[in-house]
Homo-oligomer: A and B are copies of this chain.
Amino acid sequence: MSNLSISEENYLKAIFHLYKHGEGIGTNAIARHLDTKPASVTEMLKKLADKKLLTYEKYQGVVPTRKGFTLALGVIRKHRLWEYFLVEKLKLKWDEVHEIAEQLEHIQSDLLVEQLDAYLGFPKLDPHGDPIPDKDGKMCAMNCCCVSEIKPNSNARIFGVKNHTSAFLKHLEKLNLTIGKTFTLVNRNDFDQSVELVLNKQTMHISKEVAENILVEKLK
């Protein structure tokens, strides 16, 4: 089987997350995402290309192959299952699990993953609203967008987050903006793209940065 190092798995995951249909992914983008240097990325891309996990041509950016895609999904599946476990079973908070899942996602054992999935009752979403790929890499399609994309005078329910850092999640908690909450977006300020919304009859303001990282489903 494909036995990948932790570094190789992290590169595949980054490439998966950066991939937009059609476009090749740049060395710089990968370096930024992994907090490493472009020179290191170039070397790794050559190695992953040798293993047929992506197609690489000098200066042309990179595109994952079917195989690379599948392996990335396997890592993401583990990440999200472990996050679900940590929150639902071990009672950690949603801002405490990402770092730990970054470690657990590299544990190698198909048996473990399948038993964990069954034990958790085959969950479809992780604690941040991200879909959990099943055994075959399939995951539920999502119909959601950022708060920064919805129009004034619309109702929305919080579906998930785009940023997984503890700092951001704690901030949301403090604002009472957690998954499942519904609100009305009343206004967007042209000046700084900040947003005014009403939650539980209380008016509140959130910055553009926060609005861009909250995912919602539009209501009615």
Q: Which of A44-52, A105-113, A173-181, A191-199 lines the interface with chain B?
A: A105-113
Question: Within 8 Å of chain B (Cβ to Cβ): is A4?
Answer: no
> Do the beta carbons of A91 and B109 come within 8 Å of each other?
no
Among the listed B92, B103, B104, which residue makes an inter-chain contact with A115, where contact means beta carbons less than 8 Å apart? B92
Count of identical protomers in the assembly: 2
Among the listed B92, B99, B108, B111, which residue makes an inter-chain contact with A92, where contact means beta carbons less than 8 Å apart? B111
User: What is the minimal beta-carbon distance from A191 to any residue of chain B, in angstroms?
Assistant: 41
Among the listed B86, B91, B108, which residue makes an inter-chain contact with A103, where contact means beta carbons less than 8 Å apart? B108
Interface residues on A, range: 10 to 19
Residues of B within 8 A of A86 (CB): 112, 115
Question: Within 8 Å of chain B (Cβ to Cβ): is A119?
Answer: yes
Residues of B within 8 A of A212 (CB): none
Complex alpha-carbon distance, A179 and B18, angstroms: 51
> Do the beta carbons of B119 and A109 come within 8 Å of each other?
no
Question: Within 8 Å of chain B (Cβ to Cβ): is A96?
Answer: yes
Main secondary structure of the interface of A (DSSP, over half): helix
Complex alpha-carbon distance, A216 and B86, angstroms: 36
User: What is the minimal beta-carbon distance from A123 to any residue of chain B, in angstroms?
Assistant: 15
Question: Within 8 Å of chain B (Cβ to Cβ): is A89?
Answer: yes
Q: A residues 3-49 with Cβ under 8 Å of B?
A: none
> Do the beta carbons of A90 and B112 come within 8 Å of each other?
yes
Residues of B within 8 A of A90 (CB): 112, 115-116, 119
User: What is the minimal beta-carbon distance from A111 to any residue of chain B, in angstroms?
Assistant: 7
Residues of B within 8 A of A204 (CB): none
CB within 8 Å of B: which residues of A?
A: 86, 89-92, 96, 99-100, 103-104, 107-109, 111-112, 115-116, 119
Additional 18 contacts, C-beta under 8 A, given A90-B116, A100-B107, A100-B109: A86-B115, A89-B119, A90-B112, A90-B115, A91-B115, A91-B119, A92-B112, A92-B115, A96-B111, A99-B109, A100-B111, A100-B112, A103-B107, A103-B108, A103-B109, A104-B104, A104-B107, A107-B107
